[in-house]
Chains A and B, each alone.
Chain A
């Protein structure tokens, strides 16, 4: 716990990483707010406001544009701080819901990929021999699958929807986590503290998860900071293709929606969605770089998958 605090403090001291942390905190807040709205609507059984169609107010420009433009705003039009889309839905509210879905995807896929990778890595790295060969074989097999196409195939087989996205991304991305952690576990296996724990008669599970795992935790933290933005980006891609999220305002679906009228000058939906994705992914990528430099200089040269 003390170590984590130190990391946060060190990240806070630099202005660039502090900015990243603030951006991510803002997104977390937006995602939490979106989740609260979503759950409230679900419990009270109302149609959520971000899905409400206003046929009369389609393609209303953002509020700050309307203030300066000569064309009058239609009477009784909602505020629309970031404009409205092809069905008169509020882009700002849909963006918040998109943040919620992005966080769902980022967190749940990490919760699938990281434990899977870490457990296999601990088993393989600690026991070595046949177990290790099995783990390496599994990694090599999954790694040779053609990335995005394999994810899409899993999503297709499992069925369209968020579950397919979670499983598709989660079950293919554990390999890089596993490889990094395994290398680190092998380094620790021969150290004195592990041998001491062994001599004390501790069980293998206890040595693996109570003694070695905390010492490789920084690799897991780095893995999370790399996996999260990658998962978000992949989800946008899959949903954009119409294979992922259905019926909910995911960022990918919003881009696909905005694309149709972009050519007629409806720029706001596309711009704001793009910026939202870009800022989140950039903040995470930069933070991941900083974390890597801080925690593990040796990893810097490794290819982040």
Chain B
């Protein structure tokens, strides 16, 4: 379990920090200025190195080939095209001579300094000052780079990300401007109100139909239920939601259409949730019970003269509990993360709704938090399921 948890953290880190490119660009959009992007990076800690290291590239200057540099007013120096004025900090440029012009932000007082030495040269901008312009000279490298010094060797995105998660800190939602944990906490309740009845109801109905199928295996009822389950499975989820909302709520006016005010509002979403999962559930439960029906102990029970219902309920159901518990427990994480479609369509302010909105508004911190939460819950539930086996099946021993 520990390696998989680590794997989940690495995978989410790779997805949200590496593959996606700059989070600042995703959140602020393509038209944001590099200065506001840099400010976003500094605020959320994206200006530190990815894994570890002392220096990190900054947005003020990407790698520039030597040929692209333009000569400045002084012919010996080349002008460096900075995207914005450098705020306070320590910088490094891989050139042999640097002419730095700085200005105090409050008073506008300007100053300049020239220094040279073996490349790379590093310089600091004091607090309250900004580096306005930068000219470089001396022996120039083929590609000019400008880096900023991070606060320490291990002050990296990955380490900080791990540390924050250990503290239970998922960052700040860029959409709402409040900590993600608070956003999530408000969403869990409504989600559970919707998903727990779906899980319980769906499992009960599915197990009952599965039992009936297994009892009358090969008969007309069995084949009818099996066909029905294939048909149910093939109806798209979107269609379930739209058809339910249109036919039952709008045409027949049996349920309220939209909102989250009383219990009546969640009845229709619950029914739709059960119906949409039923096809797959029935097939699984039926298969799990068919595995047991042909075992010798069932024949023994029949030979003893036990009634069919007793055999099915006490013997077959009891013995097919292991696959059933595994199957049901795997959907427990989704109880918390909620149902994306149902919640957004019926206006239930649960986690599914929250995460869908977050995806629409590119609120990465929230999406990331829900993904991690779901994955960690899945791992926890897996562990609990394994423990359950020992209780359900005396042959399984925990070591």
Whether A233 lies near B237 (C-beta < 8 A) is yes
Query: Number of contacting residues on A, CB 8 A?
Result: 44
Interface residues of A in 114-167 (CB under 8 A from B): 137-138, 140-150, 152-154, 156-158
Whether A281 lies near B356 (C-beta < 8 A) is no
**Smallest CB separation, B17 vs chain A (Å):** 10
**Interfacial chain B residues near A241, Cβ < 8 Å:** 340, 356, 359-360
How many angstroms between the C-alpha atoms of A136 and B204 in the bound complex? Answer: 33
B327 near A: Cβ within 8 Å? yes
**Smallest CB separation, B389 vs chain A (Å):** 16
**Interfacial chain B residues near A154, Cβ < 8 Å:** 15
A73 near B: Cβ within 8 Å? no
**Smallest CB separation, A96 vs chain B (Å):** 19
Q: Return the CB mask of A277-299 against B: 1 if under 8 Å, else 0.
A: 11001100110010000000000
How many angstroms between the C-alpha atoms of A252 and B238 in the bound complex? Answer: 8
How many angstroms between the C-alpha atoms of A286 and B283 in the bound complex? Answer: 13
24 A–B contacts from the bound complex (CB under 8 Å): A137-B7, A144-B8, A144-B378, A144-B382, A146-B333, A146-B370, A146-B374, A148-B340, A149-B370, A152-B340, A153-B368, A153-B371, A157-B16, A158-B19, A233-B236, A240-B238, A241-B356, A243-B360, A255-B239, A262-B242, A278-B239, A285-B233, A286-B230, A301-B288
A211 near B: Cβ within 8 Å? no
Interface residues of B in 283-321 (CB under 8 A from A): 284, 287-288, 290-291
Checking A147, A156, A255, A285 against B230 with a beta-carbon cut-off of 8 angstroms, the contacting residue is: A285
Whether A281 lies near B234 (C-beta < 8 A) is yes
| Interface-central residue, A138, A146, A277, A289, by most chain B CB under 10 Å | A146
Query: Number of contacting residues on B, CB 8 A?
Result: 49
Checking B8, B11, B19, B242 against A259 with a beta-carbon cut-off of 8 angstroms, the contacting residue is: B242
How many angstroms between the C-alpha atoms of A86 and B238 in the bound complex? Answer: 20
Whether A237 lies near B284 (C-beta < 8 A) is no
Whether A285 lies near B26 (C-beta < 8 A) is no
**Interfacial chain B residues near A274, Cβ < 8 Å:** 236, 239, 243
**Interfacial chain B residues near A278, Cβ < 8 Å:** 234-236, 239
A204 near B: Cβ within 8 Å? no
Contact A236:B370 (CB < 8 A) given known A140-B7, A145-B11, A303-B327: no
A183 near B: Cβ within 8 Å? no
Q: Return the CB mask of B243-275 against A: 1 if under 8 Å, else 0.
A: 100100010000000000000000000000000
Whether A300 lies near B250 (C-beta < 8 A) is no
**Interfacial chain A residues near B231, Cβ < 8 Å:** 282
Contact A146:B337 (CB < 8 A) given known A277-B239, A301-B291: yes
**Smallest CB separation, A116 vs chain B (Å):** 15
Whether A137 lies near B360 (C-beta < 8 A) is no
B257 to chain A: closest residue by CB: A263
**Smallest CB separation, B50 vs chain A (Å):** 16
Whether B236 lies near A145 (C-beta < 8 A) is no
Whether B3 lies near A263 (C-beta < 8 A) is no
Whether B242 lies near A140 (C-beta < 8 A) is no
**Interfacial chain B residues near A147, Cβ < 8 Å:** 334
Whether A237 lies near B341 (C-beta < 8 A) is yes
A270 near B: Cβ within 8 Å? yes
Whether B371 lies near A149 (C-beta < 8 A) is yes
B20 near A: Cβ within 8 Å? yes
Contact A157:B234 (CB < 8 A) given known A141-B8, A146-B337, A259-B242: no
B186 near A: Cβ within 8 Å? no
**Interfacial chain A residues near B385, Cβ < 8 Å:** none
**Smallest CB separation, B129 vs chain A (Å):** 37
**Interfacial chain A residues near B238, Cβ < 8 Å:** 236-237, 240, 252, 255
Whether B374 lies near A263 (C-beta < 8 A) is no
A242 near B: Cβ within 8 Å? yes
Whether B250 lies near A144 (C-beta < 8 A) is no
A98 near B: Cβ within 8 Å? no
Whether A229 lies near B334 (C-beta < 8 A) is no
For the complex with contacts A156-B26, A262-B242, A301-B291, 10 further pairs of A-B residues with Cβ separation under 8 Å are A137-B3, A138-B7, A141-B8, A148-B340, A152-B340, A156-B362, A242-B360, A277-B236, A282-B234, A301-B288
How many angstroms between the C-alpha atoms of A169 and B130 in the bound complex? Answer: 47
Q: Return the CB mask of A209-250 against B: 1 if under 8 Å, else 0.
A: 000000000000000000001000100110011110000000
Whether A149 lies near B340 (C-beta < 8 A) is yes
Whether B334 lies near A146 (C-beta < 8 A) is yes
How many angstroms between the C-alpha atoms of A162 and B333 in the bound complex? Answer: 28
Interface residues of A in 26-70 (CB under 8 A from B): none
B375 near A: Cβ within 8 Å? yes
**Interfacial chain B residues near A145, Cβ < 8 Å:** 8, 11, 371, 374-375, 378
Whether B359 lies near A156 (C-beta < 8 A) is yes
Whether B374 lies near A149 (C-beta < 8 A) is yes
**Interfacial chain A residues near B237, Cβ < 8 Å:** 233, 237
**Interfacial chain A residues near B371, Cβ < 8 Å:** 145-146, 149-150, 153
**Interfacial chain B residues near A285, Cβ < 8 Å:** 230, 233-234
Lowest 6 A-B CB distances belong to which pairs? A146-B374, A141-B7, A157-B20, A282-B234, A144-B378, A281-B234
B198 near A: Cβ within 8 Å? no
A229 to chain B: closest residue by CB: B234
Whether A153 lies near B239 (C-beta < 8 A) is no
**Interfacial chain A residues near B360, Cβ < 8 Å:** 241-243
**Interfacial chain B residues near A289, Cβ < 8 Å:** 230
B355 near A: Cβ within 8 Å? yes
Contact A153:B359 (CB < 8 A) given known A144-B8, A144-B382, A146-B375: yes
How many angstroms between the C-alpha atoms of A286 and B226 in the bound complex? Answer: 11
Q: Return the CB mask of B329-355 against A: 1 if under 8 Å, else 0.
A: 000011001001100000000000001
**Smallest CB separation, A154 vs chain B (Å):** 7
**Interfacial chain B residues near A140, Cβ < 8 Å:** 4, 7
How many angstroms between the C-alpha atoms of A241 and B237 in the bound complex? Answer: 12
A243 to chain B: closest residue by CB: B359
| Interface-central residue, A142, A149, A158, A300, by most chain B CB under 10 Å | A149
Checking B243, B250, B291 against A263 with a beta-carbon cut-off of 8 angstroms, the contacting residue is: B250
B280 to chain A: closest residue by CB: A304
How many angstroms between the C-alpha atoms of A279 and B246 in the bound complex? Answer: 21
**Smallest CB separation, B65 vs chain A (Å):** 28
How many angstroms between the C-alpha atoms of A285 and B19 in the bound complex? Answer: 34
How many angstroms between the C-alpha atoms of A193 and B58 in the bound complex? Answer: 59
